Amino acid sequence: MPKTKTRVVVALGGNAILQKGQKGTYEEQLANVRRTAEHMGKMILSGKYQVVITHGNGPQVGAILLQNDAGQRYGIPAMPMDVCGAESQGLIGYMIQQCLREVLVEGGRPDIPIATVVTQVIVSKDDPAFKNPTKPVGPFYSEEEAKKLAKERGWIVIDDAGRGWRRVVPSPDPKDIAEKEAIRQLLEAHVVPIASGGGGIPVIEKDGKLVGVEAVIDKDLAGEKLAEAVDADVLMMLTDVDGVAINYGKPGERWLRRVTVEDAKRYLQEGQFAVGSMEPKVRAAVRFMEWGGKRAIIASLDHATDAIEGRAGAEIVR
C-alpha cells in the first residue's frame, strides 16, 4: 500500500519516561509519559504524519534486574536479561498506549488505534561484542560480592568508574527486526505501533529458531533499523538537548543545525560525541541517510513539533 503521509519513526530518550532526580515511581513515569504523548499526539492529529514510536528502557530494565536480585533471597528464580527486556517493553508500552489514547480522544480522534509490539531484534552470533562485553547493567556490588557472583553465574564484572562493581554484557549491532512484517501490517491498518523498545530483545538465529541472548542493543541504532524496516521517511531522535554540538562543554563549543553526512562521519572519527549518549544518535542518523532516508533529526523532546517542521534541533543531510 502506498504511503499517503510522511512516515516518521520517533525514538524517545530516557527523559520521555523518567526525569533526573526522580525515584521512578509509576505515578512519576506516567506523568512524564503523558507529557511525551502530547508531543506525539500533535504530530498524529496534524494529519500529516504516520508515526512509529520506539523508546529507551534503561532505568526500567535496571529496576527489573534489581527486583530479580532481591527476589532470589525469597527463592524466586531470576529471569534472564532478554525476558527482563520483554517485561520492560510491556510496562512502557502500556503507559504510552494509555496516555497517547487520552491525547487522541481529547483531540477528537478516538478511532486511531495504538498497539505495542514485543519486538525481537536479530543480532549476529559472531558479533565481536560478544567477545568484549562493555555495557554495565544491573545493581552495584562490592568487589567481593561481584567476584563471587561472577564465579557462580559466569558473569563478567568490572569496577564501574569507582562507584562499585557491576556486571557487563555485550552490546551487539542490530541486523534485523524479527516482527517487521507485523509492524508493517499495523501501519497499513492505520495503527500507531510502539516497537523495538529499549533497543529490542536481542536474539540470535540458531537451528532455524530465534534464541534470546544476554545483551543490550543500543536503542537509537535499533530505532534506525526499525526505520529501515518500515520504509520510514524520517528518523527523529528526541533527547534532553536541542541538537548536536562539537567541543561540547569545552572552549569552542558550537551547536550545529545542519550537518552533512560527510562532516558527521568526520566528527564521529574525531570522538566529538559522548559514547552511549550522542554518539549512537549521530551514528544512527548517518546510517539512516546512507540507507536512503529523507530526513534524520536530533532534537529536544520539548521541541519535537518544531523539529519535525524544521524549526528546531539538528538535521543530518546529504
Q: Which residue in the list 5, 135, 265, 294 is annotated as catalytic?
A: 135
- Containing 65, the helix (H) or strand (E) segment is helix 58-71
- The continuous run of DSSP H or E covering 54 comes out as strand 49-55
Q: Is beta strand 201-206 parallel, antiparallel or unpaired with respect to 120-122?
A: parallel
Q: Which of 247, 260, 274 is nearest to 314 (CA)?
A: 260
d(CA 127, CA 203): 12
Catalytic site residue 3? no
Angle CA(162)–CA(165)–CA(166) in degrees, nearest 5?
A: 125
Confirm whether 57 is a catalytic residue. no
Query: Is 131 an annotated catalytic residue?
Result: no
Give CA–CA dist 196/174, Å, rounded. 11
CA dihedral 241, 247, 251, 252 (to 10 degrees): -90
Burial letters 238-268, b for 16+ CB under 10 A, else e: bbebbbbbbeeeeeeeeebeebebeebbebe
Instruction: From the candidates 14, 198, 199, 293, give the one annotated as an active-site residue.
Output: 14
**Catalytic residue flag (residue 281):** yes
For residues 267 and 260, give the distance between their C-alpha atoms in angstroms, rounded to a whole number.
11
Catalytic residue among 219, 225, 243, 313: 219
**Strands, E assignment, 96-242:** 114-116, 120-122, 135-141, 156-159, 165-169, 176-177, 192-194, 201-206, 209-212, 234-239
Quick one: how many helices (H) and strands (E) in the chain? Answer: 9, 17
Q: Which of 15, 32, 57, 68 is catalytic?
A: 15
* Choice among 199, 281, 293, 313 that is catalytic: 281
The reply to whether 148 belongs to the active site is no
- Grid coordinates 532505568 are at which residue? 59
Catalytic residues: 14-15, 135, 219, 281
